[in-house]
C-alpha cells in the first residue's frame, strides 16, 4: 500500500513570496491533516479535513495560510505572503477514521522543508 | 487541555545499551490514545505504537517495549540493546476519542554511538 505522498520535498523562497504544498493521502483515508513542525519542536496541527470538509482550522493563520481538499482526496496548503517564521517542515498525515469512530492511527508523509529568507 | 511532556531533550548511549524514553501526559478525558513515533534524519514520522487508555498491558515488539501507567500518567518507551539505526528523534503523542488531532511532545533526540 502506498504511503502519504508530499511534494515538493524542499522549497526555498524569499519573504513575501507565495508557496504551495501538495499532499496525496493513503487511498481510502477520509481524514487528512496538515501539521507544522518548527525546528526542535513537535508537530502542531494547522488544519484537519474530513473528506472535503474542514473539521478544525482554529490554529491556521488565516490571514496568510489557506488549504483545500478538492474531491476529498488530494490537498494543497498555501502560504501567501510568507514570513521568516514560516520556515518549518510541513507534514501531511491521513487516517481512515471518521468523527464517529475511535481514533485511528495517523500516517505521515515525508514532509516539505520550507526555508523563508 | 491536553499536554505531553518529554523531559529528556537529548540522550546519548553506546551501542547495545538499553535506553528508556520518558513521556508524561495530561488530559481530562477518560478515553484517549497514546502514540509513539520515530523521526529519522530523513524527516518522515514513522508510527511505532498506539495504546488506548483502557489497555494498560505493557507491550513488547522485538527490541522495543512500552510501559503504560495511568496512575502516573506515563507512557515510557524502552529500547533494549540499542543499535546505531535507532538514532532518531522520538515523539510521544496524545489524542482524544473521536479522531482528533495529535498533541505531540517536543521529542527526545536519541543518539546511539557505535
Q: Mean pLDDT over all residues of chain B?
A: 93
- Facing B99 at nearest CB: one of A35, A89, A98: A98
Judge whether residue A102 has pLDDT over 90. no
Q: Which residue of B has its CA nearest to A33?
A: B101
**pLDDT tens sequence across B20-72:** 999 999 999 888 999 999 999 888 999 999 888 888 888 888 999 999 999 99
DSSP per-residue letters across chain B = --EEE---SEEEEETT--EEE--EEE-S-SSEEEEEEEE-TT---EEEEEEETT----EEETTEEEEEEGGGTEEEEEESS--GGG-EEEEEEEEETTTPPPEE---EEEEEE-
Whether A58 and chain B come into contact, CB under 8 Å, resolves to: no
Predicted pLDDT at B72: 95
- Facing B99 at nearest CB: one of A31, A43, A110: A31
- Residue A115 pLDDT class (50, 70, 90 cuts): very high
Query: Could you write out the three-class secondary structure of chain A?
Result: CCCCEEECCEEEECCCCCEEEEEECCCCCCEEEEEEECCCCCCEEEEEEECCEEEECCCCCCCCEEEECHHHCCEEEEECCCCHHHCEEEEEEEECCCCCCCCCCCEECCCEEEEEC
Amino acid at each position: 500500500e502506498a504511503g502519504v505522498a508530499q511534494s515538493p520535498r524542499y522549497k526555498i523562497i524569499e519573504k513575501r513570496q507565495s508557496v504551495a504544498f501538495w499532499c496525496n493521502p493513503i487511498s481510502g483515508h477520509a481524514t487528512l491533516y496538515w501539521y507544522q513542525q518548527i525546528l526542535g519542536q513537535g508537530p502542531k496541527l494547522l488544519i484537519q479535513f474530513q473528506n472535503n470538509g474542514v473539521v478544525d482550522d482554529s490554529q491556521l493563520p488565516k490571514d496568510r495560510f489557506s488549504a483545500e481538499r478538492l474531491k476529498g482526496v488530494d490537498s494543497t496548503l498555501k502560504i501567501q505572503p510568507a514570513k521568516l517564521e514560516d520556515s518549518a517542515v510541513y507534514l501531511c498525515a491521513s487516517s481512515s477514521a471518521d468523527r464517529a469512530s475511535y481514533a485511528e492511527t495517523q500516517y505521515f508523509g515525508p514532509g516539505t522543508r520550507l526555508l523563508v529568507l | 487541555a491536553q499536554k505531553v511532556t518529554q523531559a529528556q531533550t537529548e540522550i546519548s548511549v553506546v551501542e547495545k545499551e538499553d535506553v528508556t524514553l520518558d513521556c508524561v501526559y495530561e488530559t481530562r478525558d477518560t478515553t484517549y490514545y497514546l502514540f509513539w513515533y520515530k523521526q529519522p534524519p530523513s524527516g518522515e514520522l514513522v508510527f511505532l505504537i498506539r495504546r488506548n487508555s483502557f489497555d494498560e498491558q505493557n507491550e513488547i515488539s522485538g527490541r522495543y517495549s512500552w510501559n503504560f501507567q495511568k496512575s502516573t500518567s506515563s507512557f515510557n518507551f524502552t529500547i533494549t540493546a540499542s543499535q546505531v539505526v535507532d538514532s532518531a528523534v522520538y515523539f510521544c503523542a496524545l489524542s482524544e476519542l473521536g479522531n482528533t488531532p495529535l498533541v505531540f511532545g517536543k521529542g527526545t533526540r536519541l543518539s546511539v554511538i557505535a
